[in-house]
Structure formats: structure tokens, C-alpha cells
Structure 1
Amino acid sequence: MLFKRLRTGGKILVDHLVYGLGLGVLTILRLLPRSSLRLFSKGLGTALFYFISDFRKTALTNLALAFPEKSFAERYQIARQSVQQMIITFVELATVDKFAKHIDEMIAIATSEDAPEGFFPEEVSSQQELDHFFSRLDRQEGAILFCGHQANWELPFLYITKRYPGLAFAKPVKNRRLNQKIISLRESFQGKIVPPQNAINQALRALHRGEVVGIVGDQVLLSSEYSYPLFGSQAFTTTSPALLAYKTKKTVIAVAIYRKPNGNYLVVPSKAFHANTELSIRESTEQLMDRLMRFLEKGITCKPEQWLWLHKRWKRKLRHKFKRRYAFSHILIIVKGTSLQALQRFLIEFGEFYADASLSLAIIGAADTVLANSFAPYSLQFFSSEEELLAAPNFFPAIVDLFGLSRKTRLHYKRTGSRKIFTRNELKDSLLQKQSLIQSFHKLLRRVDTRSRKG
């Protein structure tokens, strides 16, 4: 009982310290002009990019998956800029009460007449259509806004709720007092922030009252049955905006937002989308989500450095349960072509072990002849030498090295985004003793986890 009280008291003390520190930082930031805030944020973002490897590695592997045609240098620059943009956004949110009254001056809306970069005119609202949209809001007809984590994704909601009441979803911060402070900043005007739990019911009521509902819906949602081929790779995505549109028959507008060099913003609104209520709810929501995500994808392509590449967007629904750090969705296994027959059992069991992950098999040198169905779970890549591996884009958080890579190649994978490289030495016991791969790999992961805790 005493220990429980001490632990509770310690948690309360830590919460107060975190809140006090956060409040102190907010106070200091408010004293700085916007230009200084941007410079501070850019510098902090650069430091975080280099010192927090998780940020860097996630961004690099995501970018390799989305833009394999770009050079590593280009992707590296985009990754660094993405972290900088994220910090600028957080600092702007922290000081939003300082500049909220000037939000109309900070945001420009591009219509089809402006021919915004990255879009065809027929994809963007015209000035007449935009005026009609705002007229409907004036009549309290309600609407749904959909955007992604681009530039400052908070601003469109603040901009619209300066004139109209609205509701948006946001995950709460663990520190209760700090969360209340952040929510108060997000609710600077007529907006209301609600947690995702039971948010759909609240959104339905808000739409029936004629309010605006804002959804930032580009993060992974593994509980969703819907996936969109974002940059060619399936990405599980919420269907909330389309579901709300189907149930209420309200208009949906997708929004792309860009930060301009002077610190102001450009917002690009899509044409008005509507759910096809003649289709089944599943068919209609998937059709509408495809259109919304396609608009978002084009916006990201236009200014990739302004999207949040730090999110593990292409997570897979893995069949087996893993510790979080080993729940890899993309894995590369590297083997010698002459070892395929000897490794056939290993590869079959590995495919079962990481069922539903995206598995690639890099085969170096002349290959043995084996049954094709042995490689059914794998995407095959053929290389004449180890050196050729260095030219291929690396979107693999995990590498299984059954080839015996040189130190140079292992360092290449770590530098370009891989979190873990399982070496042949780590796996040789199971290979030599012919243990079940499932059992030996579980044992290996536990052993690695123990070493990491000791470190």
C-alpha cells in the first residue's frame, strides 16, 4: 500500500514538473517574433533529425518506399526538412494564441483560376464553387474537411472555426493539465476538440447541427478494413470522412496546405465530393476515400518535404504477435544463390513466421533451382554482386543477412534507415541444429531484447 501511494505521488509530481516545464517553454516562445520562431524551430528540427535515429530512420525508409526513383541524397534532404517542418508546426501550435487574430492574413486560398502547382484545374474548387461552399456554411448546412499532416495541418480548422462552429478529432496528451492547455489553444475560436473514442457519434450530431467537422485522416489505422495504394503501397486508412458523408449526405472537401517561404500558408481546396448513397455503404465509402486520398497524394507529391514522414504509415497487419520493436512490416532477406536449396526450409518458415509482412528476397549470384512456390511470400530481387545492393533503395526496417555482408554494406543499411540487421552468426545455431525457425527466432528476439535492456 505504501509503495502504491509513493508511486502515485511520484507520478503526480512528474506530471506537475512536465506541465510546469511545458508552460515555461510556451511563455518563452511567445516572446519571440515569428521569424525567430521559425529559425529556432528549424535549428531544433535539424538537431532532432541527427540525434533521434528513430525519426531519421522512419523518414528515410518511408521515402525510399514512396520515391524509389529519387536519389538517397534527395530523400535524405526531404527527411531532414520534414523534421524541421514538424517542429515549426508544433511551435506555431504552442504560440497560436499569439497570432490567431491574424490568421486571415496568414492564409491564402488557391482556386482553379490560380492553377495551383501539382493539380489539374478540374481537381480544384473554382472561386464560384468556393463562394457557394461558404454560402452553404452560412446557411448552417454543415460540411466535412479532410486533410493530411502537411505543413501546419491545424490551421485550416482554426481558419474555418473563426467564422463557423466546428469539431475535430485529436488524441489527448498523457499529461492531463498539459492536454487541457493544448486543447484550449486548438479551440481558440468556435472549434471543439474531441478524442477519437466515440467521435463518430459526436461528429454526426455536429453535422446535423450544421457545423464543420475536420478530420486529419492520413495516419495508419490497422483496425480499418480499407486500404489505399499510397505511392503504390497499401496503407490502411480511416474511412471516417466518407462514412460521415454517407450517413449525413454532407459535402466533403479535401484540403492540401503548404507553408510558403515567408511563413504564411497556401490552402488548396478540392472540388466538392459527395458519397454515392445508391451504392452499399462499404462500396460508397471506399470509392469516396479513394478520391480523397488521391487528392492528398497529389498534394504530398508536390511538396514532399512538408508531409509528416515520421509516422510508420505503411504498417502491415501481422498475423503473429510481436514485441513492438520487432513488428517489422518490411523485411529484406539476403542470400547467396548457391545456398537457396539449403535455406529453403528456413525461408518457408520465415514466411510463415512473418506472415502478412512485405518480404523481399535478395539473391546474389547464380541461383539454385528450387520449387517456385517456396518463394510465394517473397518479392524476388536478383543481383550479380554484393556491391549492386548499394544502389537499390532501402525501405526495410529489418535485414536478415544470410549472405555474410561486408561491414561496408551493413553500415550502408544502417545509414539508409534499417533499424535491425540479423546476422548469420545470430541465426547459425538454428541453421546448424535444424531447430524450428519459429522457436529459434522467438529465442533470438528475447536474447536481443535482454541485451538491449542491459545496454
Structure 2
Amino acid sequence: MQFIAYILVYPILWMVSILPFRLLYLVSDGLYLLMFYIIGYRKKVVKSNLKLVFPEKSDAEIKTITKKFYHHLCDMFLEMAKTLTISEKQLKERFKVKNPEEFQRLEKLNRSVILMFGHYASWEWSLELQRHTSFNGLAVYKKLSNKYFDALVRRMRSKYNTELISTKETIATITQYENKNIKSIIGFLSDQSPRLSKEVYWGDFMGITVPCYTGAERLAKKLDLPTAFLKVTKIKRGYYEAELKTLAEDSKSYNDYELTDLFLREVEKQIDEAPEFYFWTHKRWKYKDRKPD
């Protein structure tokens, strides 16, 4: 069944990927009408999340943000497909790095770098970062259940010299590279909700106490690596700008969970600036009432 699903969907993804950008966004407009007005894909989740984190906003304001979000969501889905065949020239034009000199400065520390970022704007096209560093590129991700699509995603990333490593492979892979003195930039999408456990860290995100991922911080402190945040801004449709912000050069000197909190504050700033570009379809706050006493 996995292979059948793959051979049915892959040709559609490929056809979408070869569309000129102008036509791609016309298709996105049509997809928006379908997803928002007809299918209503996760609209209850989106509106519930927005009302929860923005209790001061009126229903009209929530509705405006919701519509803008679905426009962006459809754009993002098709941009992900476009990654299949996008040229290096196109990617360079559409995903700019504001301060590449910060990459070079961190490289001079001669240590691998933990790079944290959120599900905001375009994380898929962040593979363009690899062009601005001589370090090995690693991206931690959750392995897809369909092995054929999982292999496809890995191939797409490897075109730009970024290696995907699953959450289960993270420690072993990074330790192996460190033992060989191969320096890496290790990307973590760290803003979603982990599974509940007794050891989970409960932090504040958008004014609400929720369980938080701490894997990036723990790895930075264990291996004594600098920690940075990648701020991605959507400039206009199909165009993004990334800015690297160093959170800590000496991660081991920070108290437990302090780096995680610093990261969350940066994501909050992005959301406050333009909430429509955050990934509201995720149930980020589903455990908000389940913190142990």
C-alpha cells in the first residue's frame, strides 16, 4: 500500500514542481478556496489555537489571520513540492540570508553549531543555508511512516548537501562526525509538542504552560556547542529572508532550560510580528491543562 500511495502521489508532486512560479501561485489560490471554504482542513484547530493565544483579538481579527494563514499554508505546500526541481539560482533568489557573516564568525570557533528554528514562514527552503557555510549540514527530523516518501524527502535535501537524520539517529550520527572532527550545523525544529512523560520540561509559550522539546539544548550542553536561532521572515509571496541569531557561544554555562526558553521567546516575537505565517494546524497546546501538580 505504501508503494501504491507513492506512485499515485509522486507524479502529481513532480508536475506541480515543474510549474512556473506564476502558475504555481495561481494553483495555490485555487487550493486555498478548496481547503478553506470546501474541505475546511483543520479550521477548528486553527481557530482554537488563535483564540487561545490571542484572547484580546476580536472574532473579525481572528478570521482575518485565519484566511491569511490558509493562503500561506497553500503556498508553502506547493513550495515544498517545488523543491523537487527548483534550481540553485531560483532558490538563491527566493531565500536570502541576511547576515552570512555570522555563519563565518561561528565557524571560526571551530565547533559544530546547534541551530534552532520554528515552524514559521519557510523552513523547507532553509536548505539554502548550506551555501553559506563550509560545515556539514544536518537536519533532525521525524521519520515518515511511508518509507518511499521518506526516501524522497532525504533525496530532495541531499541535493543541497544537507543530510536528514531521524530523531533516533541523532546522538549516534553527531557523535560519529564529532569523533572524525567533522564540524556540522545541526538544525532542530523545536517548537512543537513532545509526548508527555515525567521528565518533560513545562515552559511558557505564548503565555501558556506547555511541554517543550529540549533535545537541542541538551545536545548543545552535552557536547559544548554554540546555540543559534534562525529567524525566517516572509518578505512577499515566494520570497523569504533568514537571519542567524547567536543565542549562546558557551551553552554549558546556561541553566537548564534557559536556552529552550530563549528560543521560544524568539519564536514568539515572530508570531507577534506576523501570526499568519506560523503553522497553526498543529495541536501545539493540546496538553496545556495536563501539567502534573
The reply to whether TM is greater than 0.5 is yes
Amino acid at match of 2:183: G
Post-superposition Cα deviations, 1:50-88, rounded to whole Å, max 9, x if no partner, equal 344451000101001111111112212222322332232
Q: What is the match of residue 183 of structure 1?
A: 154
Q: What is the match of residue 301 of structure 1?
A: 272
Q: Give the conservation status (yes or no) of the 8 Å contact 2:97–2:129.
A: no
In 1, Cα distance between equivalents of 2:253 and 2:153:
41
1:276 Cα offset (Å): 4.7
Q: Give the conservation status (yes or no) of the 8 Å contact 1:254–1:269.
A: yes
Gaps of 5+ in 2: none
Q: Give the conservation status (yes or no) of the 8 Å contact 1:246–1:276.
A: yes
Q: Give the conservation status (yes or no) of the 8 Å contact 2:225–2:251.
A: no
| Counterparts of residues 149-168 of structure 1 (less than 5 Å) | 149-156=119-126, 158-162=127-131, 163=133, 164-168=135-139
Structure 1 residues 315 and 97, CA gap change in structure 2 (3 angstroms): same
Q: What is the match of residue 242 of structure 1?
A: 217
Gaps of 5+ in 1: 1-13, 111-126, 317-328, 331-355, 359-376, 378-455
1:144 Cα offset (Å): 1.4
Q: What is the match of residue 109 of structure 1?
A: 97
Amino acid at match of 2:160: F
| Counterparts of residues 42-53 of structure 1 (less than 5 Å) | 42-53=29-40
1:131 to 101, 121, 131: 101
TM-score by length of 2: 0.87
Q: What is the match of residue 219 of structure 1?
A: 192
Q: Aligned pairs, how many?
A: 286
Q: What is the match of residue 112 of structure 2?
A: 142
In 1, Cα distance between equivalents of 2:97 and 2:34:
33
Amino acid at match of 1:58: V
Structure 1 residues 311 and 105, CA gap change in structure 2 (3 angstroms): same
Q: Give the conservation status (yes or no) of the 8 Å contact 1:252–1:273.
A: yes
Q: What is the match of residue 341 of structure 1?
A: none
Q: What is the match of residue 61 of structure 2?
A: 74
In 2, Cα distance between equivalents of 1:204 and 1:83:
40
1:267 to 210, 222, 242: 242
1:91 to 58, 71, 78: 78
Q: What is the match of residue 393 of structure 1?
A: none
Post-superposition Cα deviations, 1:100-143, rounded to whole Å, max 9, x if no partner, equal 40222222334xxxxxxxxxxxxxxxx5xx52532443785321
Structure 1 residues 304 and 203, CA gap change in structure 2 (3 angstroms): farther
In 2, Cα distance between equivalents of 1:32 and 1:83:
21
Q: Does 1 or 2 have the higher relative contact order (CA < 8 Å, sep 6+)?
A: 2
The 3-state SS of whatever aligns with 1:168 is: strand
Post-superposition Cα deviations, 1:387-414, rounded to whole Å, max 9, x if no partner, equal xxxxxxxxxxxxxxxxxxxxxxxxxxxx
The 3-state SS of whatever aligns with 1:277 is: helix
TM-score by length of 1: 0.58
2:206 to 228, 231, 256: 231
1:235 Cα offset (Å): 2.0
The 3-state SS of whatever aligns with 1:260 is: strand
In 2, Cα distance between equivalents of 1:228 and 1:44:
36
Q: Give the conservation status (yes or no) of the 8 Å contact 1:49–1:55.
A: no
Q: Give the conservation status (yes or no) of the 8 Å contact 2:226–2:251.
A: no
1:303 Cα offset (Å): 1.3
Q: Give the conservation status (yes or no) of the 8 Å contact 2:14–2:84.
A: no
Q: Give the conservation status (yes or no) of the 8 Å contact 2:17–2:86.
A: no
Q: Give the conservation status (yes or no) of the 8 Å contact 1:94–1:185.
A: no
Root mean square deviation, CA, Å: 2.5
Structure 1 residues 150 and 245, CA gap change in structure 2 (3 angstroms): same
Q: What is the match of residue 28 of structure 1?
A: 15
The 3-state SS of whatever aligns with 2:204 is: strand
Instruction: Give every structure 1 segment of 4 or more consecutive aligned residues whose post-TM-superposition deviation is greater than 4 Å.
Output: none
Q: Does 2:260 correspond to 1:289?
A: yes
In 1, Cα distance between equivalents of 2:40 and 2:148:
30
Q: Give the conservation status (yes or no) of the 8 Å contact 1:274–1:288.
A: no
